Structure 1
């Protein structure tokens, strides 16, 4: 089973992002597969294919960590893309406030998971909210959409969850297996 650990945020903020996304969709003329609102989250760690034993160890690790960042606020402020805004394949919302909060959560998680022989990420952690994935050739995002404060939405961290990701033809389905609220 494919697993990942993510931060969930409040539904009011998701509604505000959804309104901004409606505008964004009119400005981007590419073959984007948009992430459905009920799948929005901020990934702390992608685990990948694991066993049932690993799943149980992940739950143990999450119980051991004191995530005192719950109920903190983060601020989405800018649209960006991976690998770059000039060669967009993944479109996401970047954080203006709260990067340090999520980075601390990520670091705590990495430290705890080492006790269960789950390796640290090799790439730098970049907290972000994925909005969509480009299914065709990379494209350049218009400068007007990349402006600081293009979006200015605060979101409250509500929980940290372990998810199972099932890949389907219609898109991924995320099933919450465990949550710390």
Structure 2
């Protein structure tokens, strides 16, 4: 993730990027994690990497909770997305999330996506994701077919197959607490894919202003 010097927040997007092809912007709406939570998850990432080195693990600085993946968005649509987020943010109140536990989709025994879950604040983040979904529908984004399942993606399994070491590592982390996050901003992010992986930068930061 492109971040400020202290690593705490995404950098603002702006201007042309060297090596970035003009065209649709790969975008998503997200909640950012506190640096302390990222650090705690980074410790687990190192442990998991030793257990399952073939998994494509996410760099700790890139960790976030996706509210809605938008895919390729035309540049002239992004201001409409931002305005839609600003409208919903005026009615949405800040809240806290507790990040805790490790797991995998669909199961630890057949892992495709390895994640950190939530031990608190799940209802609030589901409600926020629902607001995002409703706000973006008039902009042209169809509702997701699958129910929203809040999580922080830690890694993706390139070739899913039974992996007892990964399964054991996830079981060992099932009850871990990674800290709390105050959610007071919704972030519209862009993802630029390159040889070194994804680079994330912020298009807009929209404060939650509801009372």
TM over 0.5: yes
Q: 19, 25, 28: which is aligned to 2:49?
A: 25
TM-fit CA distance, 1:174: 1.1
1:71-82 maps to which residues of 2 (within 5 A)? 72-82=95-105
Instruction: Write the mapping of 1:34-73 to structure 2, written as runs, cut at 5 A.
Output: 34-66=57-89, 68-70=92-94, 72-73=95-96
Runs ≥4 residues deviating over 6 A: none
- Please give the alpha-carbon distance, in whole angstroms, between the structure 1 residues aligned to 2:187 and 2:122: 18
CA distance in 1, matches of 2:176, 2:189: 30
Aligned 8 A contact 1:165 1:172 in 2: yes
Length, aligned pairs only = 179
Q: CA deviation at 1:144?
A: 5.5
The residue number in structure 1 matching 2:27 is 3
Counterparts of residues 78-93 of structure 1 (less than 5 Å) = 78-93=101-116
Shift of 1:152: 4.3
More strand by share: 1
- 1:85-108 C-alpha deviation (Å, 9 max, x unpaired): 111121110112111111001111
Contact 1:30–1:136 under 8 Å retained in 2: no
> What residue ranges of structure 2 are gaps of 5+ in the alignment?
1-24
Q: Using the TM superposition, give the Cα deviation of residue 158 of structure 1 relative to its aligned residue in structure 2, in angstroms.
A: 4.6
Contact 1:79/1:151, CA 8 A, preserved across alignment: no
What is the TM-score when the length of structure 1 is the normalising length? 0.88
SS where residue 105 of structure 1 aligns?
helix
1:95 and 2:99 are equivalent in the alignment: no
**Where does the alignment leave 5 or more consecutive residues of structure 1 unmatched?**
none
